[in-house]
Structure 1
Amino acid sequence: MAYWLFQGNPKYYRVLDGIRDFQQMPWLVTRYRKDISVGDGVLIWKAGSAAGVYANCGSDCTRRAPQRHSRSQLLD
């Protein structure tokens, strides 16, 4: 089992709202996606002035087609 740090920038995504409101959060992985396995640990890091780890969760490694979201869905 490995742990992965996923960084969310609040300038582009409402990280805390996503943690609170979603049972699962899709996350674009650009590096190491072939190395992430089902059950690996995932730490969600919020960048910015209040930076830190805000969630400790697991990976389900489901491959999904990219989704389009409106800016209002992602930003404050």
Structure 2
Amino acid sequence: VPLEGFKALQGISGPQRFQIHKAYGAPERLPSAHTCFNQLDLPEYTSKEQLQERLLLAIHEASEGFGFG
């Protein structure tokens, strides 16, 4: 996040707001990110604990980079 906060995020063609989208498919899937569009795709997890566990797993263990695999 830029020093100016989320309001200063830039995309491919200028200012681009951060967005969270529903990812369809199995709730066991990891979240995915589209960094060019400041977008995070989240499956519909069954609990906050599952959300936290899957986010941390994606951040710490994804060998190809978060969202690229």
TM-score (norm 1): 0.28
Higher helix share: 2
Q: Structure 2 length normalisation: TM-score?
A: 0.29
Which structure: larger Rg?
A: 2
Using CA pairs under 8 Å that are at least 6 residues apart, name the structure with larger relative contact order, 1 or 2.
1
